[in-house]
Amino acid sequence: MNKINPCLWFDTQAEEAMNHYVNTFNGAPYKKQESRIVSITRYEKGMEAPGADALEGKVITGIFELAGQRFMALDGGPIFKFNEAVSFYVECEDQKEVDYFWERLSAVPEMEQCGWCKDKFGLSWQIIPKQLGELTGTPDAARSQRVVNAMLKMKKIIVADLQKAHDSD
């Protein structure tokens, strides 16, 4: 069966983005994330692709993996932009891991809400501790609702504040 892999369109920063993401995931706390650049094909002088002259030396296709998930990146110029309709969800072990990914991926503070952030390339991420699902999945509806209400007020998720909301009566 074929795998479905996202393709990310950058103006001219595909290689910088791939390096940033690979370094971020390989440096994550607790375990190596099996992240790497697999291959890069570049625009060359004389290529007949639209806009190729302006993109000479940039990435036609770059294949990279983050935590075992394969992606393709390309430099295509300023035609398309990322938006919040698509984001990548990173489930974190604990607050230490949330803090780690948030520090490296959040670059647009006005776009932060409920664990969502936007990186310096315009890509949206959800940095979510596994405890959020555990605390909202409790059979006690009142506790679950308090956790959700607390989360809705946050930018970066703070596990201790979620736990406090869960435990309060």
pLDDT in tens, 29-46: 876 668 999 999 999 988
3-class secondary structure, 132: helix
Tell me the mean pLDDT in the region 57-76.
95
Q: Shortest CA distance to 63 belongs to which of 35, 82, 85, 90?
A: 35
CATH match of 87-167 with 3.30.210.10: no
For residue 30, the Cα-to-chain-centroid distance in whole angstroms is 18
Q: Residue 51's pLDDT is what?
A: 76
Q: What's the sign of the alpha-carbon dihedral 42, 4, 83, 29?
A: negative
Of all helices (H) and strands (E), which one includes residue 81? Answer: none
Instruction: Specify the CATH architecture of the domain 7-75.
Output: 2-Layer Sandwich (3.30)
Q: Which residue has the tokens 């190596």?
A: 32
Residue 126 · residue 86 · CB < 8 Å: no
Token duo for residue 107: 């670059």
Q: Residue 32's pLDDT is what?
A: 67
Domain boundaries, the chain: 7-75, 87-167
Tell me the mean pLDDT in the region 135-141.
93
Rounded to an integer, what distance in angstroms lies between the CA atom of residue 155 and that of residue 59?
34
Rounded to an integer, what distance in angstroms lies between the CA atom of residue 125 and that of residue 88?
5
* pLDDT tens-digit readout, 69-84: 999 999 999 999 999 9
Rounded to an integer, what distance in angstroms lies between the CA atom of residue 125 and that of residue 101?
10
Backbone angles phi, psi at 7, to 5 degrees: -115, 130
* pLDDT tens-digit readout, 92-132: 999 999 999 999 999 999 999 999 999 999 999 999 999 99
For residue 62, the Cα-to-chain-centroid distance in whole angstroms is 17
- Give the largest Cα separation in the chain, rounded: 70
